[in-house]
Chains A and B, each alone.
Chain A
Amino acid sequence: MSDEAVISLENVTFTYEGDVVALRDLNLTARKGEFVVVLGANGAGKSTLCYLLSGIVPHIYGGRRRGHVSVVGADPWDEPLYSTSQRCGVLMQDPEVQLFMPTLRSELAFGPSNLGVPRREILDRAQDALSLVRLEGLEEHNPRDLSGGQKQRAALASILTMGPQVLVLDEPTSQLDPLGRWEVVEAIERLKQKGDLTIIMTTHETEEILRLADQVLVLDRGQAALQGPPGAVFNQPSKLDAAGVKTPGLMLIESTLVGGSEQADESTSDEIGRVDLTLSGVAAQIREEVEGGRLVVRPEALSRPQPAEVDGPVVLEARGLTFEYPGPPPVVALRNIDVKIRRGEFVGIIGQNGSGKSTLVKCFVGLLRSKEGDVLFKGESIRGLSVGEIARRIGLVLQNPDYQLFTSYSHEEVRFGLRNVGVPEDEIEERVQEALASVELSEEADLFPFRLSFGDRRKLAVAATMALGPEVLIMDEPTTAQDHRGRYQLADLAERFHETKGGTVLMITHDVDLIARYAHRLIVLHEGRVLLDGPTAEVFGEVEELKKSFVVPPVAAQVSAELSSVGVPRRVMTLEDLYQVLEPRHSGEGA
C-alpha cells in the first residue's frame, strides 16, 4: 500500500435539498490500494458518502456541501460526471438497474465506448475484467439471464472496464444469496490483492469484510461514530450496537470468552490493526481456556429447549407439489414437494435463489397454481379459494415493500385490505389502530407511506397483512437490504405474532444467525426439492448436506461444533447459547 492519499475528505458536511443533513464533519483519508469499509444503520449516510465520492452528488442529487473533497486529485463537485467516472467507479446495491445492454460483451463495452476509448483497448479491458470476476465464456449471454451473483459481478466488470483508480461499492452483496455473496466477495478480494485500486465498500455484513478491511468507518446519523483499524473498531461492541452495526460474531466470541475487553486487543489484529481471526483459531483459544480451567463447560445451563415435535394440528400442507414456470425456456421450480406445517410452528425456509422458496410460498397463498399436487389449508384444498379469501387465513409479506403500498396514508394502507374483505367500518378503525401500534407506527398514521424509511415501509406492509387476522404469517426475505437492527425488529414482530396470538410463522431468509435465533424448525430447499427438514439445530448440524446449498451454519454453531470434544453441546445455535454453556470459572470454584 502506498502513502499517497487517493481519497481525502476534510470536515465534510452535506445537506440534501430540503435541509436533510446526511453527513456531518466527516474526515477520511484513503491511500492507494487501501480497503475502507463503511458501516452504519440504514439512513446513516453511507450511500451519500458513495455519491459524494463518485460525483453523483451534486450532478444527479443536489444539495449543499461544506469542507474539502478530493478523489484522485480532483474534486467531483468541480468537474462533469463523465470525468469523475474515469477515475472513480461506483457499484450499487441492485444489479438489475446497472445492466441495460443485451449481451455481457456490450455491457462491458458501454462505459469505455462512451468515453471514446479505442475499440481494441475496450476489448482487452473487457477480457481482463471478465477474467477477474470469473465470467469468461458468458460474453454473449444477456446479463439479465445471469444469476444474482453473476449479475453483480457483471456490473462490477462493467465498471472495471472504465479503468478507475477508486472503486466505490455501495452494499454490493445486500440483495444476494449466500453463493452470490461469496462470489462477489471473492471477486472483491482478488481486486484488493491486485493492490492498485482504492476500494470503499459499504455493507451490513461485517463478517464478510473482516479479513479484507484496512480501515473501518462507522457512521451514525451522518457522523463518524468510530473510525480506525478494524481491530480497534470491532473491539467496541457496545458502540457498534449503538450505531446499529453488528459486531462480527468471532470478535464477540473472542472478546467475551477469551478475556478480551472493549479495548483494542492486540491478539486479534496485526501490526496495522487488521483482524486476523479464524474460526478454528478462536475455537482453539477457547479450548485452551477450558483446558486451563479458566472456562467451565455447563451443557445443563443451556436454556434452549430440546427440539420437540410440535403436536398441533397440520395447518398448511403441500402434497406432491410440482410447479413449472412456462418460460421460455420452461423452468421446473418445485419438484414433488411434501411439507406439513403444524399450528404454532416457527419455520425457517432457506436455500439458494432459484431453489423454489418464493415459488413454494406463492403456491401456499394461491398466487401460483400448480398443475400437479395440491396445497391444503387445515386439510382442505385451496383450489376453490381466491387469493383474497386465502389472504384472510394465510398472510404473505413480499420481499419488496414498495410493491405493497398503494394508498396515500399509512392508516389507509392498513384499511385497504380490511375493506376488501368486508370488515365492518367500526371494527376496521379498531384493527387499524391495533395493527399500526403493533409495528410502532401509530405516530406515522397520517404520513404518505413512501415517505417512511425503508424499514418502516416494510413494517407497514407487515401491519397491513397482519390486520387481516391470518392464522399463518409468511415473510419472504424480510432481511434483504435491511440493516442489522431492522432485521431483528421484523423478526421480533413475527415472534410476537407467534407468541401472543399462537400464530404460525414461515420465514424465508438468508440470514442464518437470525433464523437460528427464532425458528424452531428449518426447511432447506435445493433445486426445487426439500434437501433438509427438521429442528433448526439438527439441520445446521448437517454441514455436508448444507454445503450443497451453499448454506453455512451460524458462527456460534460452527464454534460449538469445533468444541464438541470438550463437551459443548451441538444444540448451541446463538452467541447467547454459547455464553450460557461456557462460563468463566469464578474464584473459589474447584477445577
Chain B
Amino acid sequence: MQPVFRYTHVDTPVHRLHPLVKMAYVLLTLVLVMYPIKETDMPVLLIWLGFSALLWILARVELRRFATLMKILLGTFVFLLLIQGLTYRGGDTPLIVLGHLKLWEADLGVITKEGVWFGLVLCVRILVATSSLPLFVMTTSTSEIMTAMGKLRVPNTLTFMFVSALSFTNLIFEMWNSIVDAQKLRAFDIDSMNIFQKAFRAYIPIITPLILLLFRKANDFQIAMETKGFGAPIEPTEIETLSARWVDYLWLLLIVAVFVICTVLKFTR
C-alpha cells in the first residue's frame, strides 16, 4: 500500500500555488459536500470532481496514488450502493429482485434503480470530499502549510498537531508494510485474504504491534520536539515568508467562480 498523504516536490502550477489558495479550495470543497444532498446533485458534484481532476492532472500526481485512494474507498462505495439500492425510500423501479422482505412500506429484498442512483451520488460526493485534502498535502510542503496556518492565526500547537498527523500517516503506511512483510515471512499473507478473512483473522495481529510501535514513535517525536523547545510559552519566530502573485489571485478567482456556479446550479435545479 502506498502512502497517499505524502508531499512530493515537483515543479507544477499547483505546487507553486499559494498555500492559502489551495486551502480555500479544500475549504470550499468541504462546504460543497456539506450542502444537503439530493438525487439531482450529480451534475454539480461532477463539475467539482472534474475541476479537482484537472488540478490532479496539473499537479502531475501519479495514477497509483489515486488508485490507492480508490482502493481505500472501494468498500465504502460497494456498501453505499447496496444499502441505498435496498433501502432508498423513493425507489420504485426494481433493478434486481433478491426476494421480498417487507418492512413498513419498503421492500428490502429489491435493489431499486433510484436507490442505486442515490448511492452513486453519495459515492461521488465522498470522492469529491476525499480528493481535495490529499491533493493539498501532496502539493504543499509542510513548512508552507505551517506558514499559511500561521497567517490564518491558527495556534502553533494546533498547526503542529495537523502537520504531525500528516507525517504520522506516512509512518503508519511504512509500518503497516513492514509488519505485513514480516507476517508474510511467517506464511500469513493478508494481501491474499478475502474481506471476511481479513476482518476476522488478519487485522488483529497487525494492529497490536502497529499501535504499540506508534505509541513508541509518538513518544520519540515528543522527546525530539520538546527538547527543541516546542511548547515553550514564547512567541515563535517566523522564518518562512509567503508572497502572493497575480496568478494566485487568478486561481482563487477561478476556484470561487466554479464554487459559485456549483452552488447556483444546486439550489436552482
**Assuming the A-B contacts A101-B143, A122-B239, A403-B179, are A391 and B229 also in contact, with contact meaning beta carbons closer than 8 angstroms in the complex?**
no
Of residues 73 to 114 in A, which have CB atoms within 8 Å of B's CB atoms? Answer: 80-82, 85-86, 89-90, 92, 94, 97-98, 100-103, 105-106, 109-114
The size bracket of the interface on B is 35 or more
Q: Do the beta carbons of B185 and A398 come within 8 Å of each other?
A: yes
Q: Do the beta carbons of A100 and B167 come within 8 Å of each other?
A: yes
Whole-angstrom distance between the alpha carbons of A118 and B236 in the complex?
9
B154 shortest CB reach to chain A, Å = 16
Q: Do the beta carbons of B224 and A82 come within 8 Å of each other?
A: no
Q: Do the beta carbons of A367 and B225 come within 8 Å of each other?
A: no
A22 shortest CB reach to chain B, Å = 16
Whole-angstrom distance between the alpha carbons of A1 and B232 in the complex?
33
The DSSP consensus for interface residues of chain B is helix
Which residues of chain B have C-beta atoms less than 8 A from A162's C-beta? 228-229
Q: Do the beta carbons of A365 and B185 come within 8 Å of each other?
A: yes
CB-nearest residue of chain A to B170: A144
**Given B187, B213, B229, which contacts A403 in the complex, CB threshold below 8 Å?**
B213
Asked if A115 is at the interface of the complex by the 8 Å CB criterion, the answer is yes
**Assuming the A-B contacts A81-B227, A102-B142, are A420 and B188 also in contact, with contact meaning beta carbons closer than 8 angstroms in the complex?**
yes
For B183-226 the 0/1 string (1 means CB < 8 A from A) is: 11111110010000000000001101100110011011111111
Q: Do the beta carbons of A102 and B141 come within 8 Å of each other?
A: yes
B142 shortest CB reach to chain A, Å = 4
Q: Do the beta carbons of B179 and A119 come within 8 Å of each other?
A: no
Q: Do the beta carbons of A56 and B236 come within 8 Å of each other?
A: no
Whole-angstrom distance between the alpha carbons of A83 and B175 in the complex?
34
CB-nearest residue of chain B to A168: B227
**Given A54, A80, A85, A450, which contacts B212 in the complex, CB threshold below 8 Å?**
A450
Asked if A417 is at the interface of the complex by the 8 Å CB criterion, the answer is yes
B18 shortest CB reach to chain A, Å = 17
Which residues of chain A have C-beta atoms less than 8 A from B178's C-beta? 398, 400, 403
For A362-404 the 0/1 string (1 means CB < 8 A from B) is: 1001010000000000000000001111011001101010111
Which residues of chain B have C-beta atoms less than 8 A from A218's C-beta? none
Measuring CB to CB, which residues of chain A are less than 8 angstroms from any residue of chain B?
A: 54-56, 59-60, 80-82, 85-86, 89-90, 92, 94, 97-98, 100-103, 105-106, 109-119, 122-123, 142, 158-159, 162, 326, 328, 362, 365, 367, 386-389, 391-392, 395-396, 398, 400, 402-408, 416-417, 420-421, 450, 464-465, 468
Measuring CB to CB, which residues of chain B are less than 8 angstroms from any residue of chain A?
A: 7-9, 62, 64, 141-143, 163-164, 167, 175, 178-179, 181-189, 192, 205-206, 208-209, 212-213, 216-217, 219-232, 234-240
New A-B pairs, 16, CB < 8 Å, besides A112-B229, A367-B185, A403-B179 = A60-B223, A85-B227, A97-B220, A97-B224, A100-B142, A101-B142, A106-B143, A110-B230, A119-B239, A142-B9, A395-B185, A398-B182, A403-B182, A404-B182, A406-B206, A420-B188
**A-B pairs with the 3 shortest C-beta distances?**
A388-B187, A417-B186, A114-B229
